[in-house]
A and B are shown apart, each in its own frame.
Chain A
Amino acid sequence: MTTSTSLVYLIALPLLGATILLLAGRRSDKWGHLLATALSASSFGVGLYQLSQMLNRPTEERGVSQKLFSWISVGSFNVDAGLLLDQLSICFVLLITGVGTLIHIYSISYMSHDENRRRFFAYLNLFIAAMLLLVLGDSYLNLYVGWEGVGLASYLLIGFWNQKPAYATASKKAFVMNRVGDMGLSFAIMIAFATLGTVSFSGVEEASHTASKAALTAIGIMLLVAATGKSAQFPLQAWLGDAMAGPTPVSALIHAATMVTAGVYLIVRSNFIFDAAPTAQLLVVIVGAITLMFGALVGTAKDDIKKALAASTMSQIGYMVLGAGLGPAGYAFAIMHLLTHGFFKAGMFLGAGSVMHGMNDQVDMRRYGALRKFMPITFITFGLGYLAIIGVPPFAGFYSKDAIIETAFNAGGVKGILLGGTALLGAAITAFYMTRVMVLTFTSKERWEDNQHPHESPILMWLPMAILAIGSVTTGFLFTRGHALVNWLSPVVGEHAESEEMLLQPMVVSGLALLAVAIGVAIAVMKYQRADVETVAPQNVSIFTRIARKDLMQDSFNEAVFMRPGQALTSLLVKGDENVVDGAVRGIGRTALGAGASLRKTQTGFARSYAALILIGAIALIAGIWVVTQ
Chain B
Amino acid sequence: MNPYNYLYVSALLFTIGAVGVVVRRNAIVVFMCVELMLNAANLTLVTFSRINGTLDGQVVAFFTMVVAACEVVVGLAIIVTIYRSRRSASVDDASLLKR
A positions within 8 Å CB-CB of B? 600-601, 603-609, 611-612, 615, 618
Contacts and interface: CB of A to CB of B under 8 A. Distances in A.
23 contacts: A600-B99, A601-B99, A605-B95, A605-B96, A605-B98, A605-B99, A606-B91, A606-B92, A607-B91, A607-B94, A607-B95, A608-B22, A608-B23, A608-B25, A608-B91, A608-B92, A609-B22, A611-B22, A612-B22, A615-B18, A615-B19, A615-B22, A618-B18
Contacts of A605: 95-99
Given A600-B99, A606-B95, A611-B18, 4 more contacts: A606-B92, A608-B21, A608-B92, A612-B22
A618 B21 CA distance: 14
A605 to B, nearest CB: 3
Interface in B17-52: 18-19, 21-23, 25, 30
B99 A611 contact: no
A607 B62 CA distance: 29
Interface in B46-66: none
Contacts of B18: 611, 615, 618
Contacts of B21: 608, 611, 615
Contacts of A600: 99
A609 B95 CA distance: 11
A612 B96 CA distance: 19
Interface of B: 18-19, 21-23, 25, 30, 91-92, 94-99
Contacts of A607: 30, 91, 94-95
A608 B18 CA distance: 11
A287 B99 CA distance: 76
Nearest to A612: B22
Contacts of B19: 615
A605 B87 CA distance: 19
Nearest to B27: A607
Chain B interface secondary structure, helix, strand, loop or mixed? Answer: loop
Nearest to B91: A607
Nearest to A604: B98
Nearest to A607: B91
Given A608-B91, A608-B92, A603 B98 contact: yes
A608 B23 CA distance: 7
A611 B99 CA distance: 16
Nearest to B95: A605
Nearest to A606: B95
Contacts of B92: 606, 608
B34 to A, nearest CB: 10
B61 to A, nearest CB: 21
A607 B98 CA distance: 10
A608 B95 CA distance: 10
A10 to B, nearest CB: 81
A609 B22 CA distance: 7
Contacts of A601: 99
B37 to A, nearest CB: 11
**Which 9 A-B pairs rank lowest in CB-CB distance, beginning with the nearest?**
A605-B98, A605-B95, A612-B22, A611-B21, A607-B91, A611-B22, A606-B95, A603-B99, A608-B22
Contacts of A608: 21-23, 25, 30, 91-92
A622 to B, nearest CB: 10
A612 B22 CA distance: 6
Contacts of B95: 604-607
Contacts of A611: 18, 21-22
A350 B99 CA distance: 84
A603 B91 CA distance: 15
A604, A606, A611 interface centre (most CB from chain B within 10 Å): A611
Contacts of B91: 606-608
Contacts of B99: 600-601, 603, 605
Nearest to A605: B98
A615 to B, nearest CB: 6
Contacts of B94: 607
A601 B98 CA distance: 9
Contacts of A603: 98-99
Contacts of A609: 22
A324 B14 CA distance: 102
A323 to B, nearest CB: 85
A600, A604, A606 interface centre (most CB from chain B within 10 Å): A606
A310 B92 CA distance: 91
Nearest to B96: A605
Contacts of B25: 608
B92 to A, nearest CB: 6
A601 B99 CA distance: 6
Nearest to B98: A605
Contacts of A604: 95, 98
A131 to B, nearest CB: 75
